[in-house]
Structure 1
Amino acid sequence: MEIFFFFFYNHLTTAALVRFYVGSYHALRRRSANMDVLVALGTNAAYFYSVYILIKALTSDTFQGQDFFETRQSYVNESMITGEAKPVDKSPGDKVIGGTINENGCLLIKATHVGSDTALSQIVQLVETAQLAKAPVQKLADHISRVFVPLVVVAAFLTWMGWFVPGEVGLYPRHWIPKAMNAFELALQFAISVLVVACPCALGLATPTAVMVASGMGASQGVLIKGGDALEKAHKVKVVVFDKTGTLTVGKPVVVSAVLFSDFTMEEFYDMTIAVESSSEHPLAKAVVKHAKKLRKKFGSNDEEVPDVKDFEVQVGAGVSGKVGERTVLVGNKRLMHACNVPLSSEVERYMSENEILARTCVLVSIDGKIAGAYSVTDPLKPEAKRVISFLHSMGISSIIATGDNLATATAIANEVGIDEVFAETDPLGKADKVKELQMKGMTVAMVGDGINDSPALVAADVGMAIGAGTDVAIEAADIVLVKNSLEDVITAIDLSRKTMSRIRLNYIWALGYNILGMPVAAGVLYPFTGIRLPPWLAGACMAASSISVVSSSLLLQLYKKPLNVQCI
């Protein structure tokens, strides 16, 4: 709807101008002048004067002039694709992505890709393709059964032959054969008992019962596991790839400090900032206004009172400007100050450098051509981030940041939390390619993210983990959802998977051991010495007891607790 509106508006404007030109042509032919002639003269005079200014500026090094070309220079919030809240500067000729948000001014947009060719559609297609391409996990029980079942059948046949043939030729005493029964029937009962007691029901229950209990426990701990495949793969994870914004960080910019560099009072400084920044929709502006209003209360001011601003203007990709009373106020970055010839002292430069090292954004405030002060803005780390990365290392799991943000910010975050490797300034497909690159090295990879931009990597990873507060696309693409939005649940998911796989292996050992021990008894090994045999009905009861023991073993997973170090805050 927004794109259509801009296109329709521009179309109406062009059509109106054509009508004025046609009307003025006919009026001049009649040697008369009307309103159409005036409009045509005005628009053409502005246009051709601007062309003259442009040509003169190109041929002279000292000439400076003002043109009157209609321009549209905005910034677009592309967080749905990049995951970064900071809007991207857009100039004529730049590409924009359907579904992203224009946060300032008017954009004339030409649709170059529609339908299935759009960026969002391609991401969705990639998700669907990756999901279909995932190979089903081969269950250990299937492999065991392929060997075990034929062996049982052979053992049952040999049992029948081992009792029937000697019984017919009289190799064992006749009184071994119960009354009303012959050698054939005795041998057949032994063979049936072997088949029954070795029935791999317990083997078949070993995995699904453990997965069912573990999935329920995971849900109660805030970890939603989508099936046994994800639970089984998670225990093999050797590297975890983290998105930055909204995953390792909170995803909401906040001001961490404000300083003065001039003789203005803090109250004046806050008032000037609020007046200009309140008219901006930029996320950093909102954070600054919130901070300034909060601290202005200390001076007894009403946070609802906002000084009037005149001549408000957005300086695309740099900041905003306006007049508050008789004072000219600029709020923005270094680029804005340089463009407006505002000098930066060594003290200001040092303050900016110190904050950039800490991955913070500096918002400068100039009043009447002089730097009055600055704000330091950051997207804070989640409090548990450093502890989780440390615990992953103790589990033998390495960590990586994959983000669309710049390298300096990503590196600062990585150093702060102890992440091993940084992969910055990348798009959604780049994240997925990084995951595949790690997989080609033989690593089992988990991806943790929260946005649409993370979804290709989430499905490409062996285990995709989505933050519960993330987008629907990310949650749909993931194998595991961290419902409580806590990074601690990354540890919970992997640890629960390891505990579950250990329990499944124990179930297999118990089920196979039970069958292997029961088969000789069912085959009559003890019968010649003790007279004890296992009739088919009793063999069936023993088989059921085996299944009960495996189920009981799986139910012990209900006692699962999170690792103690993760629970500590």
Structure 2
Amino acid sequence: MDDHSTGHNHQMAPTGVDHASMSGMDHEAMGHGGVDHDDHAVHTAGQHAGHSTAMFKNRFWLTLVLSIPVVFFSPMFGHLLGYAPPQFSGAAWIPPLLGTFIFFYGGQPFLKGGWQEIKSRQPGMMLLISMAISVAFVASWVTSLGLGGFDLDFWWELALLVAIMLLGHWIEMRALGSARGALDALAALLPDEAERVIDGGTETISVAELQAGDIVLVRSGARMPADGVITDGSAEVDESMITGESKTVPRTVGDPVVAGTVATDNSLRMQVTAVGDDTALAGIQRLVAEAQASTSRAQALADRAAAFLFYFATGAGILTFIFWSLMGSIPDAVTRTVTVLVIACPHALGLAIPLVIAISTERAARAGVLIKNRMALERMRTIDIVLFDKTGTLTKGEPVVTNVVAADGVTTDELLSLAGAVESDSEHPVARAIVSAAANSGSSVPEATKFQSLTGRGVQASVNGATVAVGGPALLKELSLTEPESISGTTSEWVDRGAAVLHVIRNGAVIGAVALEDEIREESRQAIQALQNRGIKVAMVTGDAHQVARAVATELHIDEVFAEVLPKDKDQKVAELQARGLKVAMVGDGVNDAPALARAEVGIAIGAGTDVAMESAGVVLAGNDPRAVLSMVDLSHASYRKMWQNLIWATGYNIISVPLAAGVLAFAGIVLSPAAGAVLMSISTIVVALNAQLLRRLKLNPSDAR
């Protein structure tokens, strides 16, 4: 690959990482991450009792199938719908037997979670569900065995309650992001094996066997197995997975190289300086793990409501039993207490949040916004500032010719024609930009011969019998050339604003120059203005020089800029903003953005980014349009409103129905029977489900950003 050294720190977009070529890797044997994934589970024990998404899914489907005969053969359900369940030998035992299996099998995660909430003295949804199904289970068996003359057949209610709660938790957990994904994606950047140089030859060993001081052969196209220093050879190194820059960097003897980066064009030898936990990649890995752990402890909004309902239902149940016992009616006391405790379990509350999340994620996906973490959806409405990574996010990440200046006696079309001819056979991003500019100018591009790459300086070829070179300041210095006065003033202005400048040299004389800059996305202007119109500040972080950052910030009217930020320090910039009391949404695309994406209240990965950035983020923009962030903001506000509406309805139903079931209006002849309570509970669930469906009417179109 030819090299265009311009002397400027000019970032380009990440190329991404092709993990398909790394399938089948045994990352357990790498010994490079040192991160225990289990330490970063997303769910607290109280919420899901340590169970997996697949467990809730499997138990839901089996419970649902078994619930059908339980409901169908239930006398209470048959009475509600006006039909008589079939009568045959053993028919009466179908609901108790299947209901018992459902209680112990489908209800196991809730019973376990409820017990953990008791031990931690933090009652919530699990304990509330456990109490309801346990009371329904005992009361139903008492009725099925004909003990005490009670009519408390809750088998069908027990079965549906367990099925609905399993469905709610399955939906909820499926919406959550996985901390393991980001760590696995980082691990995939390292090769399994390395070629260690021994006695003039090489031996293939596991990366885990490498030690500091070893000499390793890295072939063209291969990844560095560890951090080290080049001892022999030189190559263009793709560091995009670490730096976020697509522009390859020339590395030669004495230069440091980082584990996971790629020698694109030549083989080289390196001496290992750091392995395993000491590598830069492992350091990023640890930052991702720590940041994700710091944002994974948020409790679901519904759990707080469930804690209130637990105390409310328990207190109401105790008072109900005491009151009706004192009134001399033990059967009424038992019946009404059981009814209170069973209907206090919130079918609707169990679905209030998961349904909204599920529909929101679907609606977002249609707008190109992939929500991986439910808390990201809730937090987005509280964001004070959006921190954009510049390259590849606000900009296209590819150089474009923005200006051309020609010396006296040379036209700009002629200049572009010559430069385009020299660059025509190159696939370098800079070369493509110059060839594209030449084509767009309408100039005919002549054929070039004797092409030569001038490593670290530029390129050279023969065009129409003349020797033409294209390169930066390093090439001028080597040839002892200076710019003509007719162009020096113009190129100085380009340099001041941070543009990269390449000179065109014909037969030893500078005949002109071109300015190359990272092109700003038009969508970025609209996104930033729309965010500011919503009262949200916009900041930008970049590794570019201050003058480059200022130029972009001025053009886009950005509120705050962090320039010349090292990849490892982006995480710190997020922490700085948070220390000022701001809630931060980070939008980025490279591996170096991963810790910052995970540290922010909401991490948003741009779709063209690397796999690890997407895994670290709570939200992924499927495309490159930053206006999709607006869709996320609007959806967050809309979904939050639906959550609260559902919570108010679900808890409001309980607050009203529980006293009625307790018999507070019995003196007026108004008593909520177990059957009526079950029906109202089902209606409450339907209302919550229908209200969540209204989210589908929300229009999310990035092109409508304003």
TM normalised by structure 2 equals: 0.63
Q: Deviations over 1:194-222 (max 9, x none)?
A: 33443322222221111111111111221
The structural deviation recorded for 1:466 is 1.0
Paired AA for residue 232 in structure 1: E
* Structure number with larger C-alpha Rg: 1
The structural deviation recorded for 1:106 is 7.0
For the Cα contact (< 8 Å) 1:275–1:309, is it kept in 2?
no
Q: Deviations over 1:276-319 (max 9, x none)?
A: 33465642133213322454xx45x4x5x522236x35151x43
Match of 2:206 in 1: none
The 5 Å alignment of 1:119-130 reads 119-130=280-291
Identify which of 248, 259, 269 aligns with 2:394. Answer: 248
For the Cα contact (< 8 Å) 2:661–2:677, is it kept in 1?
yes
Paired AA for residue 463 in structure 1: V
SS of the residue 2:273 aligns to: coil
Percent of residue pairs identical: 38
The structural deviation recorded for 1:91 is 5.6
The structural deviation recorded for 1:384 is 0.8
Q: Deviations over 1:425-449 (max 9, x none)?
A: 2222100111122223333222111
* Equivalent-residue separation in structure 2 for 1:268 and 1:210 (angstroms): 61
Q: Deviations over 1:492-549 (max 9, x none)?
A: 11221222122111111112222222233323333323x2322111111112212221
The structural deviation recorded for 1:414 is 1.3
Match of 1:533 in 2: 671
Identify which of 198, 208, 221 aligns with 2:344. Answer: 198
* Equivalent-residue separation in structure 2 for 1:314 and 1:420 (angstroms): 41
Change (3 A) 1:113 1:270: same
* Equivalent-residue separation in structure 1 for 2:319 and 2:507 (angstroms): 102
* Equivalent-residue separation in structure 2 for 1:323 and 1:374 (angstroms): 18
Report which stretch shifted further, 213-222 or 351-360: 351-360
Paired AA for residue 231 in structure 1: L
Identify which of 487, 503, 513 aligns with 2:652. Answer: 513
* Equivalent-residue separation in structure 2 for 1:545 and 1:539 (angstroms): 10
Q: Deviations over 1:130-175 (max 9, x none)?
A: 334543211232223223212222222222333342x44xxxxxxx
Match of 1:547 in 2: 685
Identify which of 447, 450, 454 aligns with 1:306. Answer: 447
Match of 1:58 in 2: none
For the Cα contact (< 8 Å) 1:388–1:566, is it kept in 2?
no
Aligned residue-pair number: 487
For the Cα contact (< 8 Å) 2:527–2:705, is it kept in 1?
no
SS of the residue 1:253 aligns to: strand
Match of 1:223 in 2: 369
* Equivalent-residue separation in structure 2 for 1:141 and 1:105 (angstroms): 58
SS of the residue 1:232 aligns to: helix
* Equivalent-residue separation in structure 2 for 1:461 and 1:200 (angstroms): 33
Report which stretch shifted further, 76-85 or 533-542: 76-85
Change (3 A) 1:71 1:271: farther
* Equivalent-residue separation in structure 2 for 1:536 and 1:329 (angstroms): 92
Q: Deviations over 1:416-470 (max 9, x none)?
A: 1121111122222100111122223333222111122211212222221111121
* Equivalent-residue separation in structure 2 for 1:555 and 1:241 (angstroms): 32
Match of 1:149 in 2: 310
SS of the residue 2:520 aligns to: coil
The structural deviation recorded for 1:226 is 1.1
For the Cα contact (< 8 Å) 2:660–2:672, is it kept in 1?
yes
* Equivalent-residue separation in structure 1 for 2:399 and 2:196 (angstroms): 34
Paired AA for residue 406 in structure 1: A
For the Cα contact (< 8 Å) 2:498–2:545, is it kept in 1?
no
Change (3 A) 1:267 1:402: closer
SS of the residue 2:382 aligns to: coil
Match of 2:662 in 1: 523
Report which stretch shifted further, 70-79 or 381-390: 70-79
Match of 1:391 in 2: 530
Which ranges in structure 1 are unaligned for 5 or more consecutive residues? Answer: 13-69, 169-182
Match of 1:209 in 2: 355
Match of 2:540 in 1: 401
* Equivalent-residue separation in structure 2 for 1:217 and 1:256 (angstroms): 39
CA-atom RMSD, angstroms? 3.2
For the Cα contact (< 8 Å) 1:431–1:457, is it kept in 2?
yes
For the Cα contact (< 8 Å) 1:160–1:188, is it kept in 2?
yes
SS of the residue 1:229 aligns to: helix
SS of the residue 1:562 aligns to: coil
Change (3 A) 1:399 1:103: same
* Equivalent-residue separation in structure 2 for 1:501 and 1:424 (angstroms): 35
Match of 1:171 in 2: none
Q: Deviations over 1:240-268 (max 9, x none)?
A: 21111111111121223333213135565
Paired AA for residue 460 in structure 1: R
Match of 1:131 in 2: 292
The 5 Å alignment of 1:414-493 reads 414-493=553-632
* Equivalent-residue separation in structure 1 for 2:510 and 2:198 (angstroms): 40
Change (3 A) 1:398 1:73: same
